[in-house]
Amino acid sequence: MSSTSEKSEPSGISKSVEGKTIRLLRGDITREEVDAIVNAANSTLMGGGGVDGAIHRAGGPQILEECKQIRAMQGQLPAGQAVITGGGNLKAQYVIHTVGPIWRDGSCNEEETLASAYRESLKLAAQYELKTVSFPSISTGAYGFPLSKAAPIAISTACEFFKEQSSVEEVRFVLFDAFAYNEFETALNVL
Ligand code: ADP
């Protein structure tokens, strides 16, 4: 894996991997000006707390309307899978909704399911020929996934994805608090 040119940004850091960019930012994902933001949804797709609630509040009712249509067509969204809607009132054109695993004790496929949530989201972005995608830290809020384990999974799944040809040129992780940011920075630094 080629990994070069780590540089400081005013509000984060970025690293070039396979000629693409991984960027870490602190902030609110609903304000991102990218092709798609990813929602850490729950299986109902009917909205919830945390980042899910923030995205629906900022994006307006159109996003929930599209989620309801998806739900009517395919039922609940299993953990590790992803679907896509428009971005409603957000600056992002699309919202990719994925469901991370609920952390139990680490013996219930949690790590594989988390990687799948990131991977399936990136595959959808590629299907839609999107270039820039912003992720929150999936599963590390209400779902209780330890950040020290989740951050390396998030970073390494993006790096693996970059090995394949796709439209996706930049993956951002938008971290809400300093602790999450630091865990992702540590994971990025050991690449
Ligand atoms: P999950 O149920 O997948 O654990 P949560 O929404 O509870 O999802 O938390 C996931 C992560 O998103 C947490 O680290 C939380 O701090 C973070 N988060 C909450 N709101 C925002 C936001 N507006 N932008 C970015 N991250 C957010």
**In this structure, is residue 6 part of a structural domain?**
no
What's the rounded Cα separation, in Å, for the pair 145 and 108?
A: 12
Ligand 1, residue 137: give the atom nearest the CA: 11
What CA–CA distances, in Å, run from 63 to 59, 83, 91, 92?
7, 12, 13, 12
- pLDDT digit string, tens, across residues 69-91: 999 999 999 999 999 999 999 99
**In this structure, is residue 71 part of a structural domain?**
yes
Instruction: State the average pLDDT over residues 110-115.
Output: 98
Q: How far is the CA of 156 from the centre of ligand 1 (A)?
A: 20
**In this structure, is residue 10 part of a structural domain?**
no
Judge if the beta carbon of residue 30 lies within 6 A of ligand 1.
yes
Among residues 2, 1, 22, the alpha carbon closest in space to that of 12 is found at: 22
DSSP of 39-61: EEE-TT-S--SHHHHHHHHHH-H
Judge if the beta carbon of residue 135 lies within 6 A of ligand 1.
no
Q: Which distant-in-sequence residues (6+ apart) come within 8 Å of 100 by Cβ?
A: 40, 79, 80, 113, 114, 117, 138, 139, 143, 145
> Any bridge partners for residue 20, and if so which?
17
Ligand 1, residue 145: give the atom nearest the CA: 4
Check which CATH number belongs to the domain holding 88 and give it.
Answer: 3.40.220.10
**In this structure, is residue 189 part of a structural domain?**
no
CA quadruple 103, 68, 94, 57: dihedral, nearest 10: -80
Residue 39's domain comprises 27-183
**In this structure, is residue 21 part of a structural domain?**
no
**In this structure, is residue 13 part of a structural domain?**
no
- pLDDT digit string, tens, across residues 11-63: 689 999 999 999 999 999 999 999 999 999 999 999 999 999 999 999 999 99
Q: Which distant-in-sequence residues (6+ apart) come within 8 Å of 111 by Cβ?
A: 149, 153
**In this structure, is residue 19 part of a structural domain?**
no
Number of domains in the chain: 1
Among residues 38, 42, 53, 57, the alpha carbon closest in space to that of 143 is found at: 42
Q: How far is the CA of 13 from the centre of ligand 1 (A)?
A: 20
**In this structure, is residue 157 part of a structural domain?**
yes
Judge if the beta carbon of residue 48 lies within 6 A of ligand 1.
no
What's the rounded Cα separation, in Å, for the pair 190 and 17?
A: 13
Tell me which H or E stretch contains 37. strand 36-41
Is 52 an active-site residue?
yes
Q: How confident is the model at residue 10 (pLDDT cuts 50, 70, 90)?
A: very low
